[in-house]
Amino acid sequence: MILRDMQANPLQWKASPGLGVGLETTSSSPLPSFSQLSLGNLSGGTSVNSLKTRGLFLVKAMEGSRTASLNGHAGNADKNASLLSSVGNSTNIQWHECSLNKNDRQKLLKQKGCVIWITGLSGSGKSTVACALGGSLYRRGKLSYILDGDNVRHGLNRDLSFKAEDRAENIRRIGEVAKLFADAGVICIASLISPYRRDRDACRAMLPAGDFIEVFMDVPLQVCEARDSKGLYKLARAGKIKGFTGIDDPYEPPLNCEIVLTHEGEVCASPCEMAEEVISYLEDKGFLEA
């Protein structure tokens, strides 16, 4: 392929060891500037597909997919493209690995990262148990963090409503954040209604097998409604809140969760006692040691 400068000096397109392709002049004159370049007839029927001069000069021949630039920042497009991917609406992205990994962080913290997902009806005691569990872990010298459903909607998810599609996105975002905490070696406690199995299962699928621990607060609706600490059931019964879980929107209990915390008859274990059940599970599975 041949380009010519404005003085008609031929510029030969030639393979370069570093770039795979390059540009050189066949005369003794220095390499022309972008504004001095013009296109001439190309040998062999080859055509130039694109020419960009915004600080970077790119020439791409139809006979190959290699690209080159005059500022020296060029490479094999096929090779680079093989490292890039598209995820959702994000394109041309690449996962960057670091030498420091999850095992290193877990050794530093002397524990194993995981997600404890506490699910149940409003008023079942999820947040109270989550706080009791966080306190119990703290007293054992273990680092945890609580992602409470209401708290997260004050910031990260403040743009989401309680429509079905927004509830699904709410769970997805919390699941992604919880995964990051677990990867950091932290015991993440997610406490939220999360009424639909498919959304909870999707969060489980984000983590390695065994690192998602689903805790079901198995408390009857009438008990939760009798508590009604936030007054939400009263508003839902009056029709002032639509799509309220347990009233006019379903709650799908887990089918194969790791832990069930039950309310039996008139007797209910204290939040600390429930937290100890979860602690026992973590100890048995080795999460409280590196």
Q: What angle do CA 242, 247, 251 make, to 5 degrees?
A: 105
**Is the Cβ–Cβ distance between 221 and 121 less than 8 Å?**
yes
Length of the chain measured in residues: 290
In this structure, what token pair is assigned to residue 53?
Answer: 């001069």
Count the Cβ atoms, other than its own, within 10 Å of residue 15. 9
Question: Which SS3 state, helix, strand or coil, does residue 218 take?
Answer: strand
Pairing mode, strands 68-69 and 58-59: antiparallel
* Residue 221 CB contacts under 8 Å (≥ 6 apart), including other chains: 121, 246
- For the question of residue 28 being annotated catalytic, the response is no
Neighbouring CB atoms inside 10 A of 161's CB total 13
Name residue 67's beta-bridge partners: 75
Rounded Cα distance, 37 and 263, in Å:
81
Closest by CA to 23, choosing from 55, 65, 57, 62, is 57
Q: Which residues of 38-51 are buried (b: 16+ CB within 10 A; e: fewer)?
A: eeeebeeeeeeeee
Phi and psi at residue 155, to the nearest 5°: -135, -85
Annotated catalytic residue, options 194, 229, 270, 280 = 194
Which residues are part of the catalytic machinery? 194
